[in-house]
Structure 1
């Protein structure tokens, strides 16, 4: 029997009595709440000071209130919240130093990021330091020089040499039967527009042609653009049933033209292919067998006939990466490849383009150590066929490009253009006038057509991979060149460079502009060699130009690259953000004629008028 213990005050008449035991969990719960309250008060003291003011004096830094990074890391978020409540935004972080941004890995990563939306040409870095750059047709292109060079560029195009990078032109390769190509392009054009794509003068591959394309069977309406083309040279083109063709498309209407080619030739993309599986009902197909060359449908059908003729099984092969878009027609065997980032095209305009090319290019010869050509005296051997290298050097010694056959194609292997670069920029010397006779040169053309290794995609890829980088070349020069400007032994081991030279006749309208104005050369260069040749041309006195000069030279020549009713003109107007409101006089006459003949397009009306 338990009795209550009386407290000391019970004797005084009090009623307070303490229990004999105490539950600890009630005491702990009350103490826990008190501890939480004390910790909360300690962490958030009631004070009018800010975070950076509550730090000890030895940890304070100048301008802490504006630069949160000067505070310890654990106080930065709270300090930013206080600044946001007060309406003061922290100072933007300082941009990394130029030395940090110019590091190799950071620089290349930045270049790749900036090329996501717009493609850069090989000469982009060179142009970006000297030209105003604009976004046009999915590319980042040079528009005009930062200097006042409008009149200087016109003088260069008429008296000296103007060089432009037109590598933004799209190259499309078609390979198939000659009859199929002739029939397909017959649906995209008309004989009233001039010589067709299968004309005899172009089939040998010695000349480049141009043709106006329209939508499928829509002539004279729905004009696309004017296309440059060239055939791959063959030894006996009349006996070749399968030919290869290059089309050079302006980017303003390239996609529309490619869509029409796909429609006419009934092509399908090769990014995904439906291929038959080897017939085996008992075992699964190993993964390594799928990566090999797929079996043909005929071979699989033969296997199926011996196995109770069960239905065929197929699998879809998808290419993870496709550098160049390719299309094919399985029934006719015709193939189309959109070649990108493998070829560069430079345009030299002016009478001194001959001198610049002659000084920048030197034919590669294995039988001559120094590679220096002999003096070409065509008068001693009239009518004798020359070698391609000798003929090219003789053609470049003429006074003007307009003295040669129009749209002539020359193929030549040259030494690395870095070996032909002068020590300082200077104008190329004009050759002697009596050295080469143009009339005799026409009778001395090479017997073989202008074959070039640039037509081989594997060779182009191997050539780009084996090129010596400019940084390594400079390092070897600094080690081996005892006398500045003297040739080194390692330079003889540099691989030769195949080029294609295409003559442009220039203006042919004497009533509008003098004959031969804007005559020059187009040079097709493989990938990675574009900047090498570009700098050599600049060092020999060629004046660089941009899109402004591309339009001004065409306007002075009486040529309209963007006829208002073509797809290319619509794409160009959309990219510029303005429509073509002012038309040239020739275009206005063609527009009036098109209305008179029943609403034909301007291209068709001009062809109708010329006929």
Structure 2
């Protein structure tokens, strides 16, 4: 832009921004007016006609300047709305805009010239007779969530894992989403996670699941989980430890029945749900007292992240019985600042009113002071969480189906609200409807989405909020009723890409993007490789990186198979638990270990031999977190090196699976995986003998040390220093 006081450049030398500024400045300039009458000399009398003519010229000049300035404005009424609230139809339908902008938009639409549309040559598909049949036809190859129609108007959609899911908002929303889950509330429809229900004898269910779960994590039949007060986390294997399925969460039903009538819900990622379901069906096909049920279309799940999530849920979830134990418990949490203060995995179940009755709800403003009585009450609840807090009717399938079939329509509620407004002053805002006995009562489950105990030791207080929050479980058919209330109350929506970014900011691995060795990760790897190669080939040779000169043999993929020992009996696999990693490091170092792998396998009845496990260390990988210590930003598939010398000693021993600029740390960071042998050599080279002994004999709650490494992007020959920490 031209500095003030300098000579203006010729019009053809101005940039587009400078041309617009010149145009707007000229349009707003009021030119000096000169009267057609002769200039009066000093002392000459002034007539009324001469005075009126001079003022008339000034008025005409002002009107012309105002008109020109209004034409120079480049922002229309529908462009004045925030980007995340804009609609495509708002440019020709003023009713789609806020009320304060409708009058201005109507004038702009009236002045706009008619749009000449070319006649379409192709035959348009006939309108379907039934919109329901048309929607079912579109779901032949993939499934829709209950909030699908809402997402398609506002977010980029993608066919993945058998669903049509929202990938990210249509507008630039990376930083707004970061502000939402760090300061406000971020909402995500996680109903695509499959729920598998186990019914039958408690001991039979536990004995089967323990054979395929990680032996170093708390058992599914642990006392902390079996009462139904807390949700549990586990690692599910097809064959321990080399064939990994996915991380899972599970919840037992709270009841006082016999053990033969136990129920367990297990949430599984949709990419592996068919494989897990088929695997367990083959396992229990000969067992009479266990029944498996697929609940993928029976439940709705919303995930909330951020410090304002509790206040938002308090404004929407209104208990039917405020005097019940769980109703009072929920209201006692109204001043809770963060769900991380509650016991990890706490479960609260109660019955709420239809949120459409009070729509639209608003979140009360944040207060800076909290009464001491509320603080002491919250502290008592955190120390002694009630045993009956998880009691709810959402486990009853017949009741949930009845609530779904008897759900009042939006039109019936509109007629009730219209009758209520008769005789009152006309208002544009909806009038709340009083709750009656005929209104729907929806049983829900509210879960504090805590992290596994093995992960909590690696998180600081700031990043802990990114990985924890609330999960709301609803019966089917009630997704949109609650979703609209959450949106109007101020929650910001997120897609699959935003959830991956949230895990990246928290320093956690995101399934399946950061879990090499799994079949779903291999599919993502091939898809990314194909897309990146197509983008690279479209560029001219002078404008793209020459990977042959840079010495990069796999620029578009993380080729872990080239890093592990080719003589290993298995494919590369990832160590998922800290105790197993300590056992592996001790085995390679030929030192005494405090981890008894044999006892752990026998205790869980896992049919795996320790000698067989020890033979697979050459193909083992370790998940790592890397943070740059200098300027620069790593990219996906960047290589990890022990030194920055360009020789044979600098061969890579790991790849980054997720990388970028961290808004939390203010520097480049990422997640990846390294070979176990490379980690062992790195520890030996950067630690003393006493430090190595301490690493091999440390406790589970202690964090592993950070190591110095170097990162090299595929399109660069520069090595950037970074700190490596193991995600276990």
Which interval holds the TM-score relative to the shorter structure?
Answer: 0.5 to 0.7
Aligned partner of 2:272 in structure 1 is: 253
Aligned partner of 2:365 in structure 1 is: 429
Q: Give 1:568 deviation, angstroms.
A: 4.5
Aligned partner of 1:410 in structure 2 is: 348
2:259, 2:419 → 1: CA distance? 52
Aligned partner of 2:516 in structure 1 is: 564
Q: Give 1:161 deviation, angstroms.
A: 0.2
Q: Give 1:610 deviation, angstroms.
A: 7.8
Q: Give 1:492 deviation, angstroms.
A: 5.6
Aligned pair in 2 of structure 1 residues 582, 391: CA closer, same or farther (>3 Å)?
farther
Residue 599 of structure 1: which of 593, 616, 641 is its match? 616
Whether the aligned pair in 2 keeps the contact of 1:235 and 1:448 (CA below 8 Å) is: no
Aligned partner of 1:496 in structure 2 is: 441
- Contiguous gaps of at least 5 residues in structure 1: 1-89, 268-328, 366-370, 374-385
Q: Provide Cα deviations, 1:29-69, integer angstroms capped at 9, x if missing partner.
A: xxxxxxxxxxxxxxxxxxxxxxxxxxxxxxxxxxxxxxxxx
Q: Give 1:454 deviation, angstroms.
A: 1.2
Q: Give 1:109 deviation, angstroms.
A: 2.5
Kindly report which structure 2 residues correspond to 1:217-236, keeping only aligned pairs within 5 A, or say none. 218-235=239-256
Residue 218 of structure 2: which of 195, 199, 206 is its match? 195
Aligned pair in 2 of structure 1 residues 388, 542: CA closer, same or farther (>3 Å)?
same
Whether the aligned pair in 2 keeps the contact of 1:350 and 1:518 (CA below 8 Å) is: no
Whether the aligned pair in 1 keeps the contact of 2:573 and 2:621 (CA below 8 Å) is: no
Q: How many residues align?
A: 424
2:154 aligned with 1:133, yes or no? no
Aligned pair in 2 of structure 1 residues 572, 492: CA closer, same or farther (>3 Å)?
farther
1:452, 1:571 → 2: CA distance? 40
2:410, 2:389 → 1: CA distance? 33
Q: Give 1:140 deviation, angstroms.
A: 0.3
Secondary structure at the counterpart of residue 462 of structure 1 = helix
Aligned partner of 2:499 in structure 1 is: 550
Q: Provide Cα deviations, 1:495-549, integer angstroms capped at 9, x if missing partner.
A: 2111100002367334696343332100001111100001111111100001011
Q: Give 1:171 deviation, angstroms.
A: 0.6
Whether the aligned pair in 2 keeps the contact of 1:361 and 1:420 (CA below 8 Å) is: no
Q: Provide Cα deviations, 1:112-160, integer angstroms capped at 9, x if missing partner.
A: 2111111000000000000000000110000110111110001101110
Whether the aligned pair in 2 keeps the contact of 1:409 and 1:500 (CA below 8 Å) is: yes
Aligned partner of 2:227 in structure 1 is: 204
Whether the aligned pair in 1 keeps the contact of 2:358 and 2:432 (CA below 8 Å) is: no
Aligned pair in 2 of structure 1 residues 108, 602: CA closer, same or farther (>3 Å)?
same
Secondary structure at the counterpart of residue 197 of structure 2 = strand
2:348, 2:461 → 1: CA distance? 30
Kindly report which structure 2 residues correspond to 1:57-76, keeping only aligned pairs within 5 A, or say none. none
2:111 aligned with 1:175, yes or no? no
Whether the aligned pair in 2 keeps the contact of 1:357 and 1:396 (CA below 8 Å) is: no
Aligned partner of 2:330 in structure 1 is: 392
2:368 aligned with 1:419, yes or no? no
Aligned partner of 1:380 in structure 2 is: none
Kindly report which structure 2 residues correspond to 1:274-353, keeping only aligned pairs within 5 A, or say none. 329=286, 331-353=287-309
Secondary structure at the counterpart of residue 499 of structure 1 = strand
Whether the aligned pair in 2 keeps the contact of 1:253 and 1:571 (CA below 8 Å) is: no
Whether the aligned pair in 2 keeps the contact of 1:565 and 1:602 (CA below 8 Å) is: no
Q: Give 1:603 deviation, angstroms.
A: 8.0
Whether the aligned pair in 2 keeps the contact of 1:131 and 1:145 (CA below 8 Å) is: yes
Residue 525 of structure 1: which of 467, 470, 474 is its match? 474
Q: Give 1:421 deviation, angstroms.
A: 2.4
TM-score (norm 2): 0.54
Aligned partner of 1:364 in structure 2 is: 320
Aligned partner of 1:185 in structure 2 is: 209
Aligned pair in 2 of structure 1 residues 515, 118: CA closer, same or farther (>3 Å)?
closer
2:410 aligned with 1:470, yes or no? yes
Whether the aligned pair in 1 keeps the contact of 2:341 and 2:382 (CA below 8 Å) is: no
Q: Give 1:491 deviation, angstroms.
A: 5.4
2:135, 2:328 → 1: CA distance? 42
Work out which structure has the larger RCO, using CA pairs closer than 8 Å and 6 or more positions apart in sequence: 1
Q: Give 1:571 deviation, angstroms.
A: 5.4
TM-score (norm 1): 0.63
Q: Provide Cα deviations, 1:305-329, integer angstroms capped at 9, x if missing partner.
A: xxxxxxxxxxxxxxxxxxxxxxxx4
Whether the aligned pair in 1 keeps the contact of 2:182 and 2:465 (CA below 8 Å) is: no
Q: Which has the larger radius of gyration?
A: 1
Aligned partner of 1:314 in structure 2 is: none
Kindly report which structure 2 residues correspond to 1:101-116, keeping only aligned pairs within 5 A, or say none. 105-116=129-140
